[in-house]
């Protein structure tokens, strides 16, 4: 009790709370200021494992949050923007990037007088938040300054409370505990506080005050590294399969690195303190250790990333889904990834619809057995995902794009419905031997087969982001072909209606089937325009689409 009274526990907890609040505010302000820059970085610069690792390092070092980067990565995996190998590589990089916090705390928190810059930062930033309230950018810059000041004010409070405690306790008390105990302590602290940065700040404070030895502090830092993975695993429970696979991969990587590091901890301790000469500055030495062992872990696992991904996919297989390919794996709360998954899913809906149309034209030659009921259920799933995206507070541009894509999905669904209703009539036409009806069937068949071929081909080009073809030119040629065939069909019916052997009802029936086929083809073309983001054409076609859908 005497020790607790000397410890100033409320000062310590206040310092910890201020530190965590500062970290949270800093992450939030940087995320807003950076806009989509880091999302773009993670999406585009992960082509190789090495580039993915550097993307993870840089993004985490700047954003000061490995969890924020991991969230983006998991979402992009689900959307098909990034594969599991790239995701593992980025998350390996986040482990190195997160060590930047330890360096900031070690350098500024222990090498300088904290009050000399924390108070001015809080003062200037606080005034800026009030006086510059009309400018969101300057408000977030001011918020960043306040957060940075709070970060070190909280650290100062923790230092003061631990300094008093260190005078009352002999470090030899902890000598009997092995490194495993300290590692577990670091892991539990991180899992409870949901922040490895806070754990490392406490460890640096205890080391600076002489409460623990360097080796004990190093073990706690290793434990903190594992603790961040515990948080990710808890967050993946009940979540998407891709999230579980990524969490499992990260667990193998961090636990494997921790085991090897603890096994050679005496050697690493000697390297930092004696080999590199940090025995007189233990705090900076621990920050260096934090970076070195994470770098060591990345180098150790780098050759086995592919095998690690295969192991994760084998142990945590994806659930079997009949049609949905992307949206069931993507968290709708990450708008960029959700929108990309939504676009890709509608592209896949288009392909499945093309297979369905193939069954109508060539029942015996279809490449896939898919029913109209399947497509209806599929469209319902897509629409439900659309509603989930819209609950996340989208910006105007993202909301507009999501609406365009939903309209494309609705057009695709209407096409399958219309042609499903006309399937029996088309089947009857296929068996007719009369010249006019035979010509009518061939016209319908040729248009649908052209639409199927072009639809599947353009979808493949879109998915590969193939820029070797002019998408607008392809769509224009397809549209011209459909419209020309429609006119020829009508002219043929106009000629046939004057012949005595053709009844008015038969010609009217042919014209109705032709209208259904022509409108269905137009809807597929408009859907391709939406997937290709041909905005100017989309705007011009809105009035036409209203007429077609009626």
Return the closest-CA partner of residue 208 out of 163, 174, 274.
163
Tokens 């009217």 correspond to 508
pLDDT digits (tens, 9 = 90+) for 5-51: 445 677 778 877 887 787 777 767 766 665 555 556 666 666 778 88
Stretch 348-353: mean pLDDT: 90
Spell out the domain ranges in the chain: 2-315, 330-549
Tokens (6 digits) for 535:
């905005």
Return the closest-CA partner of residue 91 out of 57, 43, 50.
57
Is the model's pLDDT at 480 over the cut of 50? yes
Tokens (6 digits) for 252:
């193998």
Share of the chain above pLDDT 90, in %: 12
| CATH entry 1.10.150 includes domain 330-549 | no
* Dihedral of alpha carbons 257, 45, 49, 235, sign: positive
Greater pLDDT, 154 or 96: 96
What local confidence, expressed as pLDDT, does residue 43 receive?
A: 62
Stretch 295-300: mean pLDDT: 92
What local confidence, expressed as pLDDT, does residue 38 receive?
A: 56
Return the closest-CA partner of residue 479 out of 437, 436, 540, 438.
540
Return the closest-CA partner of residue 91 out of 63, 64, 66, 65.
66
Give dist(CA 451, CA 432) in Å, integer: 23
Tokens (6 digits) for 101:
């916090």
Give dist(CA 543, CA 527) in Å, integer: 15
Is the model's pLDDT at 457 over the cut of 50? yes
Tokens (6 digits) for 403:
């609406």
Give alpha helix (H) positions in 98-240. 99-111, 115-131, 136-166, 179-193, 196-208, 214-236
Q: Backbone phi, then psi, for 81, in 5-degree steps?
A: -75, -30
- From residue 267, alpha-carbon distances to 119, 207, 396, 418 in Å are 41, 19, 56, 73
Give dist(CA 91, CA 305) in Å, integer: 11
Return the closest-CA partner of residue 80 out of 304, 311, 348, 466.
348
Greater pLDDT, 505 or 271: 271
Return the closest-CA partner of residue 283 out of 21, 108, 153.
108
- Give me the torsion for CA of 98, 103, 106, 108, rounded to 10°: -110
Share of the chain above pLDDT 70, in %: 76
Give dist(CA 73, CA 358) in Å, integer: 37
Give dist(CA 501, CA 511) in Å, integer: 17
What local confidence, expressed as pLDDT, does residue 3 receive?
A: 45
The full length of the chain comes to 550
Stretch 300-312: mean pLDDT: 89
Tokens (6 digits) for 84:
């599991």
| Cβ 125 vs Cβ 145: under 8 Å | yes
pLDDT digits (tens, 9 = 90+) for 110-143: 666 666 667 888 888 888 888 888 887 788 888 8
Stretch 349-357: mean pLDDT: 89
Stretch 313-338: mean pLDDT: 74
Return the closest-CA partner of residue 205 out of 5, 10, 2, 15.
15
Give dist(CA 78, CA 324) in Å, integer: 12
Give dist(CA 261, CA 93) in Å, integer: 18
Give dist(CA 312, CA 245) in Å, integer: 5
Give dist(CA 484, CA 490) in Å, integer: 10
Greater pLDDT, 464 or 107: 107
Q: Is 498 exposed, middle or buried (0-12, 13-18, 19+ CB in 10 A)?
A: exposed
Tokens (6 digits) for 177:
């505990």
Stretch 50-67: mean pLDDT: 78
Q: Predicted confidence band at 316 (pLDDT cuts at 50, 70, 90)?
A: confident
pLDDT digits (tens, 9 = 90+) for 482-537: 999 999 988 888 887 777 666 666 778 888 888 999 999 999 888 888 887 754 44
| Cβ 224 vs Cβ 199: under 8 Å | yes
| Cβ 64 vs Cβ 186: under 8 Å | no
Give dist(CA 98, CA 291) in Å, integer: 9
What local confidence, expressed as pLDDT, does residue 368 receive?
A: 59
| Cβ 313 vs Cβ 306: under 8 Å | no
| Cβ 121 vs Cβ 149: under 8 Å | yes
pLDDT digits (tens, 9 = 90+) for 211-265: 888 998 899 999 888 887 776 676 566 556 776 787 888 889 999 999 999 999 9
Helices 471-496 + 504-531 axis angle, to 10: 170
**How does the average pLDDT of the chain come out, rounded?**
78
Q: First-to-last CA distance in the chain? A: 80
pLDDT digits (tens, 9 = 90+) for 398-440: 888 889 999 999 999 999 999 888 888 888 787 777 788 888 8
């Amino acid at each position: 009790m005497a020790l607790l009274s000397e410890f100033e526990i409320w000062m310590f907890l206040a310092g910890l709370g201020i530190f965590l609040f500062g970290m949270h505010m800093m992450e939030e302000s940087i995320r807003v200021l950076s806009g989509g820059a880091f999302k773009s970085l993670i999406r585009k610069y992960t082509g190789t494992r090495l580039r993915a690792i550097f993307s993870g390092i840089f993004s985490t070092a700047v954003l000061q949050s490995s969890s924020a980067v991991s969230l983006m990565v998991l979402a992009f995996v689900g959307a098909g923007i990034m594969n599991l190998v790239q995701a593992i590589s980025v998350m390996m990089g986040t482990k190195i990037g997160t060590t930047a916090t330890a360096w900031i705390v070690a350098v500024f928190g222990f090498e300088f007088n904290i009050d000399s810059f924390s108070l001015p930062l809080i003062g200037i930033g606080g005034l800026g938040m009030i006086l510059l309230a009309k400018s969101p950018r300057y408000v977030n810059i001011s918020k960043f300054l306040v957060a940075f000041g709070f970060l070190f004010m909280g650290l100062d409070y923790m230092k003061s409370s631990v300094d008093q405690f260190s005078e009352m306790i002999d470090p030899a008390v902890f000598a009997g505990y092995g490194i495993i105990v300290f590692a577990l302590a670091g892991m539990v602290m991180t899992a409870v506080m949901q922040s490895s940065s806070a754990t490392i700040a406490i460890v640096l404070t205890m080391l600076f005050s002489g409460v623990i030895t360097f080796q004990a502090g190093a073990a706690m830092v290793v434990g903190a590294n594992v603790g961040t993975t515990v948080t990710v695993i808890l967050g993946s429970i009940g979540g998407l399969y891709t999230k579980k696979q990524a969490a499992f991969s990260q667990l193998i990587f961090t636990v494997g690195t921790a085991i090897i590091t603890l096994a050679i901890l005496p050697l690493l301790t000697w390297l930092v303190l004696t080999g590199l000469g940090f025995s007189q500055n233990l705090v900076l030495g621990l920050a260096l250790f934090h970076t070195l062992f994470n770098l060591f872990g990345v180098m150790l696992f780098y050759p086995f990333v592919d095998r690690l991904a295969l192991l994760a996919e084998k142990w945590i297989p994806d659930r079997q889904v009949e049609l949905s390919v992307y949206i069931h794996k993507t968290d709708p709360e990450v708008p960029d990834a959700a929108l990309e998954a939504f676009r890709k899913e509608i592209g896949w809906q288009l392909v499945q619809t093309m297979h369905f149309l193939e069954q109508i034209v060539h029942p015996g030659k279809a490449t896939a057995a898919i029913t109209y009921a399947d497509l209806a259920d599929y469209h319902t799933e897509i629409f439900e995902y659309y509603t989930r995206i819209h609950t996340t507070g989208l910006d105007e541009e993202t909301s507009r794009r999501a609406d365009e894509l939903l309209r494309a999905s609705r057009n695709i669904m209407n096409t399958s419905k219309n042609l499903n209703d006309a399937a029996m009539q088309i089947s009857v036409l296929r068996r007719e031997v009369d010249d006019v009806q035979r010509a009518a069937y061939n016209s319908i068949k040729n248009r649908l087969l052209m639409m199927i071929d072009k639809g599947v081909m353009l979808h493949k080009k879109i998915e590969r982001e193939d820029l070797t073809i002019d998408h607008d030119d392809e769509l224009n040629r397809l549209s011209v072909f459909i419209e020309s065939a429609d006119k020829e069909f009508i002219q043929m019916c106009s000629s046939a209606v004057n012949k005595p052997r053709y009844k008015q009802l038969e010609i009217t029936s042919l014209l109705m089937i032709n209208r259904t086929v022509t409108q269905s083809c137009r809807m597929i073309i408009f859907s391709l325009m939406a997937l290709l983001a041909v905005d100017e054409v989309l705007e011009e076609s809105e009035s036409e689409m209203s007429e077609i859908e009626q």
